Chain A
Amino acid sequence: MTTISTSTSAFYERSSMDIADLRARAEGMQADLSRGQRIARSSDDPVGASRLRQLSRADSMSQIDIANAAKATTNLQLTDAALGTFADYVTRIQELTTQAANGTMTDAERAGLGAEIAQIRGNMIQLANSRDVEGGALFGGQSAGDAYTTDAAGNAAYAGTGTAGDLPLGDGQNVTRGLTGSEFLSFPAGSASPDLLTALKTLSDALQAGGAAAQQAARDGLSALDQGLDQITTAQTVVGTRLAWVDLTTERRTSLTEMRSNEETTVGGTDIASTVARLQETMTVLEASQASFTKLASLSLFSLLN
């Protein structure tokens, strides 16, 4: 006959260990549920915790990318609006120059047109020196001061840097934050004038000087104006493309953010349905073992022997 030897203290010890274990398990699941998070410390799931850390890092970088993208969008929109105004100005000067090229014009009338052109050119210089959202020169690249400086004679010279600089949009993508003045106002090498502002100065000076050369100057000016308008509309296209690129990366970022938050929930969130079910199961077992412990513990031979 085999006998299972057991002693009173062994019975109590075993029961208390079992019940304490069940209790600890139930409490752990309850904590998971109330936190909504499966991972309280990294050691609960080292791989998951590391993944969550990387996701939160990507998330916080993405927040900064959003701010940068918004900044780039605003600056590019400012640039776009300014370019639109530039185009309007050039169109208006084209009208005036076409009038001036007419042989029936008197010198006085031409001088008036020249004065108006000079005035519009002044506006264009001011527009070229407008500021971006950060307070820097919108068309000055990375320089701190104005994009164009004018000397006493009224000649405008570009004072900014060669490029506008890039803004990171996240995931290694960049966008050039704007245009420099020289990128859309300067004419290619070999042209009659170095840039549009110089050509306008030549034109308005000649018209105001009057004489036989004025009409010819107006005719010459028209081709320079055509070229200037071409460059401005090309620049508008470039800016529009960059805006579209920023939009594209923003869309991509949004979908990536969604993916990340999905993954965060999958990796770190508590699966409520299954946790509740397991909790219920544990509670049932715990209740049963408590009940059976009470029954067994009250069974003593001493109470039966009289």
Chain B
Amino acid sequence: MASDLLSIGRSGAQAARIALDVTAQNIANASSDGYVRRSTRLQEVSSSGGIGSIGDVSLSGVRLEGVVRNADLFRQAEVRRTGADAARADAEVAGLENVQAAVEQSNVYNAMVGFEGSLQQLVGDPTSASLRANVIEAARTMVGTFNIAATALDSVGTGLRFEATDGVTQVNTLSGELARVNLRLARAADASSDQTALLDQRDSLLQQLSAFTDVATTINADSTVELRIGGAGGPLMVQGGSAGTLAMTTAGDGTITFAVSGLTAAPAPAALTGGALAGKAQALVKLADVHARLDGLADAMAGAVNTAQAAGITPANAAGQPLFAGGPPFTAASLALSLTDGAGIATAPAGAGANSRDAGNLNALRTALGNADPVGGMDALLFDVSGTVQGRTVTRDALRTIANGAQVSLQAQAGVDLDQEAVNLVRFQQAFQASGKVMQTAKDIFDTLLAIR
């Protein structure tokens, strides 16, 4: 009989101490971000009898086999995937809402209706100086609102690109960090508390990365991670201890594209489909479209008015001069008022004579405006933008719900349950006390033996 009661008790007490330590660590980190609940895995220490000692009892207590990290790889991947989708939708909706505000709150539509109304009012009395001044002021307001809308759209674009640049920097920083974690993971001993902490760090970095871009991960046997961005077919970003560099290129119309360099010979283009960077890129595409359509409306409006102006005569019997400057082609930003005096509005058709109250050319102008219908076009543009925002908001809410669900489900599985830890505290405390009792018993036995006389 090779067992040693005292050492068995000691090993039990030691194991209970470690389990208590792990429990305390769990409780302390109950609200730490990215912390995964640990548990101890204990194993019996015993040896089977050798030759000549069959039937011998050889018990040596318990030992700690490892600290287990209760992480579910599938749920973590789900959190990253759904999180990237939600971040993309979030960024896109935020960008689109700004685009909507730029077009809607600049009041272009109301100013266009005001200009249209001022022309209609002028028909009532084409030679009235005050009504003519009213048309000029309405045109000035409209030009101002077009300019404001263009400036607002530009600043939305600048803001989006600035945020995207910051996101690219973050992705590069996080990737570099991940490469360093990979290096240390390759050297860490298996199932040590050092390794579990590194794994926590690895998963947390991956999750942070997924907020910016969609990531595809491959976990190697040594727990290091290989990272591709822009989906499983995307370019390699982190491999072993080296990380690539993500770069952003801005096109002439303000849209952005991404490419990764460093791990491949030539920079590999990255088509991001998730994460905030993808959302910002999508919002910028919509912004470029809205901007082009706004320019088109400004061109249609100014072109129709200037053409009609040229066909008529002013009350002074002079040929009509352009009302708007800055084109053709006119853009929302370049549009400017050329006429500043209401007397320059050509209301009468050519040949009507000086001071004619004939509104023929004014009516032709209104007809031309009615045919080009920039006001209707503006309504359609606003409808398009707001409809897109509404649709994307619904998608965003759905994706957010899914991402929240995945997050909660991961938390539920990997997070710390304080009630369970309270039970564990009691259980391991009792185990510790029981092991103490074993040692007490061993001592009593020895005392008994020593007391024999």
Q: How far is the CA of A167 from the CA of B123 in the complex (A)?
A: 7
Of A45, A53, A54, A301, which one neighbours B418 at CB under 8 angstroms? A301
Partner of A42, one of B124, B357, B385, B417: B385
Q: Mark B368-386, 1 if CB is under 8 A from A, else 0.
A: 0000000100010011011
The answer to whether the Cβ of B447 comes within 8 Å of any Cβ in the partner chain is no
The complex places the Cα of A44 from the Cα of B389 at a distance, in Å, of 9
B330 within 8 A of A: no
Task: Kindly provide the distance from the CB of A133 to the nearest chain B CB, expressed in whole angstroms.
Answer: 9
A8-B418, A71-B125, A300-B418 are contacts. A49–B412 as well, Cβ < 8 Å? no
- Pair B411/A9 contact, Cβ less than 8 Å: yes
A302 contacts B422, CB within 8 Å? yes
Query: How big is the A interface, by class?
Result: 35 or more
Residues of A within 8 A of B114 (CB): 60
B318 interface hit (Cβ, 8 Å)? no
Question: Cβ of B311 < 8 Å from any Cβ of A?
Answer: no
Taking a contact as CB atoms closer than 8 A, the residue among A7, A61, A142, A305 that contacts B357 in the complex is A142
CB distance from B134 to the nearest CB of A (A): 11
A53 with B382, Cβ < 8 A, contacts A6-B417, A7-B37, A305-B422 known = yes
Contact with A along B75-104 (1 / 0, CB 8 A): 000000000000000000000010011001
The answer to whether B379 and A167 have CB atoms under 8 Å apart is: no
* Contact in complex: A5, B412 (CB < 8 Å): yes
Could you tell me which A residues sit within 8 Å of B by CB distance? 5-10, 12-14, 17, 41-47, 49-50, 53-54, 56-57, 60-61, 63-65, 67-68, 71, 134, 136, 141-144, 161, 165, 167-168, 300-302, 305
* Known contacts A46-B386, A53-B109, A9 near B415 by CB under 8 Å: yes
Q: How many residues of B contact A (CB 8 A)?
A: 54
Contact B386 A42 (CB under 8 A): yes
Closest A residue to B357 by CB, please name it.
A142
**Bound CA–CA A301/B30 (angstroms):** 15
Question: Shortest beta-carbon distance, B405 to chain A, in Å?
Answer: 10
Output the least CB separation between B119 and chain A (Å): 9
Question: Chain B 392-430 against A: per-residue CB contact (8 Å), 1 yes, 0 no?
Answer: 010000000000100110011111111100110110000
In the complex with contacts A53-B382, A302-B418, A142-B352 CB distance below 8 A: yes
Closest A residue by C-beta to B104: A42
Inter-subunit contact A43/B357 (CB<8 Å): no
Task: Please tell me if B39 contacts chain A, counting CB pairs below 8 Å.
Answer: no
Which residues from chain B sit less than 8 Å from chain A, CB to CB?
A: 30-31, 37, 97, 100-101, 104, 109-110, 113-114, 116-117, 120-121, 123-125, 127-128, 352-359, 375, 379, 382-383, 385-387, 389-390, 393, 404, 407-408, 411-419, 422-423, 425-426
Q: How far is the CB of B30 from chain A (nearest CB, A)?
A: 5
Residues of B within 8 A of A8 (CB): 30-31, 415-419
Check if B116 sits within 8 Å of A43, measured CB to CB.
no
List the 6 closest A-B pairs by CB distance, nearest first: A7-B415, A42-B386, A144-B355, A43-B389, A10-B411, A301-B422
CA gap between A13 and B393 in the complex, in Å: 22
User: Which residues of the other chain, B, contact A57 by a CB distance below 8 angstroms?
Assistant: 113, 116, 375, 379
Most interface-central of A9, A47, A71 (chain B CB within 10 A): A9
> When the two chains form the complex, which single residue of A10, A13, A142, A300 contacts B356, counting CB atoms closer than 8 Å?
A142
Interface pairs (7), CB distance under 8 Å? A14-B408, A42-B389, A53-B379, A56-B113, A63-B117, A64-B117, A165-B359
CB contacts (< 8 Å) of B382 on chain A: these are: 42, 49-50, 53
The distance in angstroms between the C-alpha atoms of A46 and B381, with both chains bound, is 11
Known: A144-B355, A165-B358. A64 touches B408 (CB 8 A): no
**A85→B353 CA distance, assembly (Å):** 32
Q: How many Å from the CB of A94 to the closest CB on chain B? A: 35
Most buried by A among B124, B354, B413: B124
Contacts of A165 in B (CB 8 A): 357-359
Most central of A43, A56, A61, A136 by chain B CB within 10 Å: A43
B364 to chain A, nearest CB (A): 14
